[in-house]
Amino acid sequence: MRRIALALGVLAAIVYPIPLQLQGYTYYQTVGFLVLITAMLGLGWNVIGGWAGQFDFGPQVFFAVGAYVAALLFVRRGVDAWLGMLAAVAVAMALCAVLTYPLTGLRGHYFAIATVAIWMIAQPIGATWEFIGGSQGLFIPVKPHAGVVSTALSLQFTGPMKALGYYYSALVLFAVTLALMAWVERSKLGYYFRAVRDDQEAAEGIGIDSRRYKVVARSVTAAVFAAAGVLYAFWALSVFPEQVLELNWGTLPIMATVVGGIGRLWGPVLGAVILIPISQIMSTTLGTGPLAGRGIDLIVYGIIIILIAAFRPTGLLSLPWGRWLR
């Protein structure tokens, strides 16, 4: 049952954009791209928020760090996107470790407030630091590449193939993230994260350095956010503070994780597959026509999220699917 569902999911994810592409559409490929990025970010946030149980409301800082590092390396040094992504992940993890260690003495709401505070500090830095382009940010020039392989390696898709190229790039990154997280969940890290979440004192009593594992958990989250930030920057062809430090890069993946099932591997994936298309459908149906410009689409979208959260606060994956599907 599980295997069949997984195989169908993989097949659907690979085949989904092809008929659309053949008919000349690109919109739905971009929706798919957003679903995959949100799912990937949710998988990352699930480590600190779901398994380690620490409410991090500022992961978007590392999305921005990733985007800036790769963009700077590309614009100033001509370093390719994928190589830049490795550097971005390394910088984000190191920065996260340094910033998070002092926070790990805080618990519950205080930890959450501190993560928000770091995001608030990052905003004026992003807007005024000339080295990274200040409020103007950085523009990523397109360097044309010949051939599918060299285009894919450069992560610079253009023209009618742009949406399709980024969809599959996002699919690859998402799959890598999912595989890594599946490994983390079953490894010593996964056990220790959940032990710290369930009872920090008891965890220390069986030899778990709770502060160290909180730092490790948040650094894994930061790595995923940084990688996604790089992908997004090359898709948008620009990096500027208001765009990559936007609160939604944190709240959307958090909402997807909570709606789908916090602390469950597939929770953020399910949440992203549900929430992002709903938001797109709302904005294309209610966001146009006589009611356009009044934010009706966002209001309805918000109500849907509230209803899911009220109906099943532990997430849709916690419903007794096994019993229903038998």
Please state the closest distance from residue 201 (CB atom) to another protein, in A: 6
Task: Out of 90, 98, 136, 198, name the contact with another protein by CB under 8 A.
Answer: 198
Distances (CA, A) of 298 to 1, 71, 182, 253, 301: 36, 31, 33, 17, 5
Please state the closest distance from residue 204 (CB atom) to another protein, in A: 4
> Is position 191 an interface residue for another protein (rule: CB under 8 A)?
yes
Asked if 91 and 61 count as a contact pair (C-beta separation under 8 A), the reply is no
> Is position 205 an interface residue for another protein (rule: CB under 8 A)?
yes
> Is position 195 an interface residue for another protein (rule: CB under 8 A)?
yes
Minimum CB distance to another protein smaller for 149 or for 206: 206
> Is position 28 an interface residue for another protein (rule: CB under 8 A)?
no
> Is position 197 an interface residue for another protein (rule: CB under 8 A)?
yes
Task: Out of 45, 192, 225, 235, name the contact with another protein by CB under 8 A.
Answer: 192
Q: At what angle do helices 27-45 and 162-186 cross, to 10 degrees?
A: 20
> Is position 207 an interface residue for another protein (rule: CB under 8 A)?
yes
Residue partners of 227: CB distance under 8 A and separation at least 6 = 40, 66, 85, 88, 89, 173, 177
> Is position 183 an interface residue for another protein (rule: CB under 8 A)?
no
Amino acid letter for position 188: K
Please state the closest distance from residue 181 (CB atom) to another protein, in A: 16
> Is position 217 an interface residue for another protein (rule: CB under 8 A)?
no
Distances (CA, A) of 302 to 71, 276, 279, 285: 33, 12, 9, 15
Q: Which stretch binds another protein (CB under 8 A): 8-16, 56-64, 87-95, 197-205?
A: 197-205
Q: Which stretch binds another protein (CB under 8 A): 54-62, 77-85, 201-209, 220-228?
A: 201-209
Minimum CB distance to another protein smaller for 162 or for 194: 194
CA-CA-CA-CA dihedral for 101, 63, 59, 189, to nearest 10: -60
Please state the closest distance from residue 100 (CB atom) to another protein, in A: 18
Residue 89 CA to residue 226 CA, distance in Å, equals 5
Residue partners of 71: CB distance under 8 A and separation at least 6 = 84, 138, 140, 233, 239
Residue partners of 257: CB distance under 8 A and separation at least 6 = 42, 45, 46, 49, 50, 267, 268, 271, 315
Please state the closest distance from residue 263 (CB atom) to another protein, in A: 8
> Is position 201 an interface residue for another protein (rule: CB under 8 A)?
yes
Q: Which stretch binds another protein (CB under 8 A): 20-28, 183-191, 236-244, 264-272?
A: 183-191
Residue 86 corresponds to which tokens in the numbers above?
Answer: 């490795």
Which positions from 255 through 314 interact with another protein, judged by CB under 8 A? Answer: 263
Residues that bind another protein (CB under 8 A): 186-188, 191-192, 194-195, 197-199, 201-210, 263
